[in-house]
Amino acid sequence: MSARLLRAARMAVVVLLVAAPGLLEAQSVVQRGAAVPEGVALRLWIPAGSVEVRHWTRDSVDVKATLAPGSQLLGNVSGGAGKYSVESLSPTATDFPRADIVLTVPVGATLWVKSTTAAVSVVGGRGQLDVLTVTGSVSVRNATGVVTVESIEGDVTLDSISGLVRVRGGSGAVKVNNVTGRSVITLVRGSVEVNAGRAAESVVPPGRIETVSGSVTVRGRMGDEDQLTIVTHDGPVDVSLDPKSIPQVTAIDPPQPEAFNALVKALGAPNSSARLVIDSFKGTLNIRPIGGIR
């Protein structure tokens, strides 16, 4: 073997030794499955990355996690309950444990998902769903049942949900589309946008929207007999209503009563038993029929 070849071989060994830890730390994929009853209760704790929850009609759970270097998936399902968590391999790690998870569960599963920064996406399901996050975005669509989202700063989108929707949080924006049932939204700084669905029979969900400084935008038809209460401190309120169903509008001590009364008058006489109550300490109020003033 020539001296040049020997040098090259030595270099290759050195390069391998240097690169080995990096190669060992590459992403890993873990997949686990288990047979469970349809109403299984699952808890998932994922600090960073993302989780996509899917539902199927089988009586089993499937979890596929693409783990970042230094992270591991712990937990299992036993009987009617289970818990998975993404954790660091090293107790001295300073980064959040991270994974991209696809979790497939029975449609009737009860889920509790906790994320620090991880994005949470849930599609389908008719069991109870609770999501808790610091900054991760949360998206839930095509679900039935009780959906509760608590977010300190993450944005929340709820689309096509039938049941009770509860959102509590600090600064994230909340968008609610096509919710049939009832919604209770309580924020501090976050803005709230509520839209009825596109279908002719879709209505704005009754309930309560409360935010201190965030804006509130509501657009659509109010259902007969429904009541919607909007409360802000200085957040502006903008309501666009279907003129075919004008509710009884009440504003509690509005900041500019003459202007508000003019808007209500322009809206037209109530032609349904629905009630809209607005209570804002000093936020601007705007209320109008969809399509402009008649």
Contact residues for other proteins, defined by CB under 8 A = 47, 92, 94, 96, 114, 116-117, 132, 134-135, 150, 152-153, 168-171, 186, 188-189, 210, 212-213, 231, 233-234, 252-253, 281-282
DSSP letter string, 37-68? -TT-EEEEEE-EEEEEEEEESSSEEEEEEEEP
For the purposes of burial, counting CB atoms within 10 Å of the CB of 278, is it exposed (0-12), middle (13-18) or buried (19 or more)? buried
> At closest approach, how far in Å is the CB of 236 from other proteins?
15
Give residue 224's identity as a one-letter amino acid code: D
Q: Token pair for residue 132?
A: 């808790």
The residue among 146 and 290 lying less far from other proteins, judged by its C-beta, is: 146
Task: Count other Cβ atoms within 10 Å, centred on residue 292.
Answer: 9
The residue among 169 and 223 lying less far from other proteins, judged by its C-beta, is: 169
The residue among 100 and 150 lying less far from other proteins, judged by its C-beta, is: 150
The residue among 196 and 230 lying less far from other proteins, judged by its C-beta, is: 230
> At closest approach, how far in Å is the CB of 240 from other proteins?
26
Whole-angstrom CA distances from 193 to 41, 73, 209, 236, 247 are: 31, 36, 10, 12, 19
The residue among 136 and 206 lying less far from other proteins, judged by its C-beta, is: 136
Q: Token pair for residue 19?
A: 């690169």
For the purposes of burial, counting CB atoms within 10 Å of the CB of 101, is it exposed (0-12), middle (13-18) or buried (19 or more)? buried
> At closest approach, how far in Å is the CB of 49 from other proteins?
13
> At closest approach, how far in Å is the CB of 173 from other proteins?
13
> At closest approach, how far in Å is the CB of 292 from other proteins?
33
The residue among 36 and 42 lying less far from other proteins, judged by its C-beta, is: 42
Exposure class string for 124-159: b at 16+ Cβ within 10 A, else e: ebbbbbbbbbbbbbbbbeebbbbbbbbbbbbbbbbb
Whole-angstrom CA distances from 115 to 30, 77, 130, 150, 156 are: 19, 20, 11, 10, 13
H runs (alpha helix) in the chain: 3-24, 257-267
> At closest approach, how far in Å is the CB of 123 from other proteins?
25
The residue among 118 and 274 lying less far from other proteins, judged by its C-beta, is: 118
> At closest approach, how far in Å is the CB of 193 from other proteins?
19
